[in-house]
Amino acid sequence: MKTYSIAAIPGDGIGTEVISAGVEVLQALAKREGNFAFKVDHFDWGGEYYKKHGRMMPANGRDLIRKHDAILFGSAGHPDIPDHITLWGLRLAICQPFDQYANVRPTRVLPGITSPLRSVNDKELDWVIVRENSEGEYAGVGGRVHQGSPLEAATDVAMFTRPGVERIMRFAFRLAQSRPRKLLTVVTKSNAQRHAMVMWDEIAVEISREFPDVTWDKMLVDAMTMRMVIKPQSIDTVVATNLHADILSDLAAALAGSLGIAPTANLNPERAFPSMFEPIHGSAFDIMGKGIANPVGTFWSAVMMLDHLGEAAAGARLMRAIERVTADKRFHTPDLGGTAGTADVTAAVIGAVEGAN
């Protein structure tokens, strides 16, 4: 029997609550499937670790998880620690060296969940946003000078490389091609940012020639936010830069009903390193410890992890279980307007996984 090794990094805040729920569901699923197992190793990295050790993860942290088949990540963020330290010290410290350059964010209105867009039902909002995850605006290039003086200045340089743009563009075209509508929107801001964004547009044209069956268009990011709200049915697959897609995918999550249900995969498509799966929400300290965090974003991320591991049938079973549970309003957490707790939703999904099909 195949055993997959999973590195679980719950992180901070509700990250710990949703990851333990996710691991419970994965173990129940493996038992139900019967032909594979999970060996889950937990790593207590994050804000509390930082307070004790002065860093978010140990110096050899990446070596400890390099050989795992996948990483299941909660959230990094702590009210006592600046966000750029928690982000760069843990999440990006894994994503960047493991070259997880394709960040994939499916967005759908799940059964039973109401989109704030009145006109939309569950068939009409079915997107995948592909976020460039290794360079661009979050390349970390820049600096500050003359701190404490009136002449203080700071830069963040958005750095795009041709290979970096080519590989994410090719990934997005391939993903669009694998979906029924074969439709891709390339998002830029090439009217105002006239160097790198123009290169994006040019590379999109070049790569599109490899995918003659994919229909594609390009859109400025500001116009795209409007289109997502006004004509959501016209969108299928989207590719955008690190910053633009970061913003678009929060909007997408909200349009799908809640930040709490949205999943992410940080993929190293070449499989030279493990890929990482996480809900898109953060540590949400306002609801921590109350037992009301919505675990659906983590469960859906686990579906993406199963697909990546080659266990698509198990992933489909878990997705059916999730949808059966969201369809029942008794299992809606407060972010969806309900009164259920994390444990109620988890138990219901496990029940549905163990059910007949």
Chain residues that interact with Mg ion, rule: CB under 5 A: 282
CB 104 within 8 A of CB 220: no
Give the residue with the Cβ less far from ligand ATP, 19 or 287: 287
* Residue number, nearest CB to ligand ATP: 282
Question: In whole angstroms, how close is the CB of 26 to ligand ATP at the nearest point?
Answer: 17
Question: In whole angstroms, how close is the CB of 37 to ligand ATP at the nearest point?
Answer: 27
Between CA 155 and CA 206 the distance in angstroms is: 31
Q: Which does 265 bind (CB under 5 to 8 A by kind): Mg ion, ligand ATP, none?
A: none
Long-range contacts of 308-313 (CB under 8 A, 24+ apart): 308/70, 308/265, 308/267, 308/275, 308/277, 309/4, 309/69, 309/70, 311/33, 311/36, 313/33
Question: In whole angstroms, how close is the CB of 282 to Mg ion at the nearest point?
Answer: 4
Give the residue with the Cβ less far from ligand ATP, 69 or 278: 278
Q: Which does 293 bind (CB under 5 to 8 A by kind): ligand ATP, Mg ion, none?
A: ligand ATP
Question: In whole angstroms, how close is the CB of 48 to ligand ATP at the nearest point?
Answer: 14
Question: In whole angstroms, how close is the CB of 29 to Mg ion at the nearest point?
Answer: 29
Give the residue with the Cβ less far from Mg ion, 15 or 282: 282
Q: Which does 335 bind (CB under 5 to 8 A by kind): ligand ATP, Mg ion, none?
A: ligand ATP
- For residue 229, what are the CA distances in angstroms to 113, 233, 297? 17, 10, 22
- For residue 57, what are the CA distances in angstroms to 45, 72, 116, 257? 5, 15, 38, 33
Footprint on this chain of ligand ATP (rule: CB under 6 A): 14, 75, 77, 83, 259-260, 281-287, 293-294, 297, 333, 335
Three-state DSSP class for 323?
Answer: helix
Nearest to 336 by CA among 77, 33, 116: 116
